[in-house]
Structure 1
Amino acid sequence: MPSASGRRRESASAIVADKERGRHELKVDASSLAVAVPTGDGSLLKSCPFMVGGHRWHIQYYPNGNNAECKGHVSVSLVLDEDVPKPVTVEYRLGIVAETRALFFINRKEKLVSKPEIVRQFRGRESWGYSNFAKRQELFNRVRRRNVDAFTIRCDLVVRNGFRTEAAPPPPKKAARVPPSDLHKHLGDLLQSGRGADVVFEVAGERFAAHRCVLGSRSPVISAELLGAAATDDAGVVLVEGVEPRTFRALLRYAYTDALPEVDREEADGLHRELLAAADRYELERLKLICEDKLCDTIDVGTVETTLALAEKLNCHVLKETCLEFLSRPANVRAVVATRRLHPASNSRGQ
Structure 2
Amino acid sequence: MPSPAWATAAAGAEAPSEFHLFEVVGYSRAKDLPTGMAIESSPFMLGGYRWVIEIFPNGRVPEDADFMALSFTLIQDVTRPLKVHALFTFVDQVAYHDPRVVRTNPITHVPSRVCMGCPRYIAREAFERSEHLKDDCFTVRWELIIVEDGLQQ
> Is TM (by shorter chain) over 0.5?
yes
Deviation at 1:117, TM superposition (A): 2.6
In structure 2, what residue type is equivalent to 1:149?
D
Residue 149 of structure 1, aligned match among 136, 141, 147: 136
1:89-238 correspondence runs (5 A): 89-97=83-91, 110-111=92-93, 117-143=105-131, 147-161=134-148
Deviation at 1:21, TM superposition (A): 2.8
Could you list the runs of 5+ residues in structure 2 that have no partner in the other structure? 1-12, 97-101
- Does residue 81 (structure 1) correspond to residue 63 (structure 2)? The answer is no
Equivalent residue for 1:188?
Answer: none
Give SS of 2:77's match: coil
In structure 2, what residue type is equivalent to 1:148?
D
The CA deviation string for residues 136-183 of structure 1, in whole angstroms up to 9 with x for no partner, is: 121011148x75331111101011345xxxxxxxxxxxxxxxxxxxxx
Give SS of 2:80's match: coil
Q: TM-score, normalised by structure 1?
A: 0.34
Tell me the distance in 1 between the aligned counterparts of 2:49 and 2:18.
11
Q: Against the structure 1 CA distance between its residues 46 and 118, is the aligned structure 2 distance closer, same or farther, given a 3 Å change threshold?
A: farther
- Does residue 36 (structure 1) correspond to residue 32 (structure 2)? The answer is yes
Tell me the distance in 1 between the aligned counterparts of 2:17 and 2:44.
12
Deviation at 1:32, TM superposition (A): 4.2
The CA deviation string for residues 76-116 of structure 1, in whole angstroms up to 9 with x for no partner, is: 0121111211111111111123xxxxxxxxxxxx329x697
Give 1 or 2: higher strand fraction: 2
Residue 22 of structure 2, aligned match among 22, 26, 45: 26
Question: Is contact 1:90–1:122 with CA below 8 Å preserved after alignment?
Answer: yes
The CA deviation string for residues 180-226 of structure 1, in whole angstroms up to 9 with x for no partner, is: xxxxxxxxxxxxxxxxxxxxxxxxxxxxxxxxxxxxxxxxxxxxxxx
Question: Is contact 1:96–1:154 with CA below 8 Å preserved after alignment?
Answer: yes
Could you list the runs of 5+ residues in structure 1 that have no partner in the other structure? 1-15, 98-109, 163-351
Tell me the distance in 1 between the aligned counterparts of 2:146 and 2:134.
36
- Does residue 54 (structure 1) correspond to residue 43 (structure 2)? The answer is no
Give SS of 1:31's match: helix
In structure 2, what residue type is equivalent to 1:61?
I
In structure 2, what residue type is equivalent to 1:130?
C
Q: Against the structure 1 CA distance between its residues 22 and 59, is the aligned structure 2 distance closer, same or farther, given a 3 Å change threshold?
A: same
In structure 2, what residue type is equivalent to 1:133?
Y
Q: Structure 1 segments of 4 or more deviating over 2 A?
A: 114-118, 146-149
Question: Is contact 2:20–2:46 with CA below 8 Å preserved after alignment?
Answer: no
The structure, 1 or 2, with the larger RCO (C-alpha pairs under 8 Å, 6+ apart) is 2
Deviation at 1:69, TM superposition (A): 1.3
Tell me the distance in 2 between the aligned counterparts of 1:155 and 1:50.
12
In structure 2, what residue type is equivalent to 1:47?
S
Give SS of 2:107's match: strand
Quote the sequence identity (%): 26
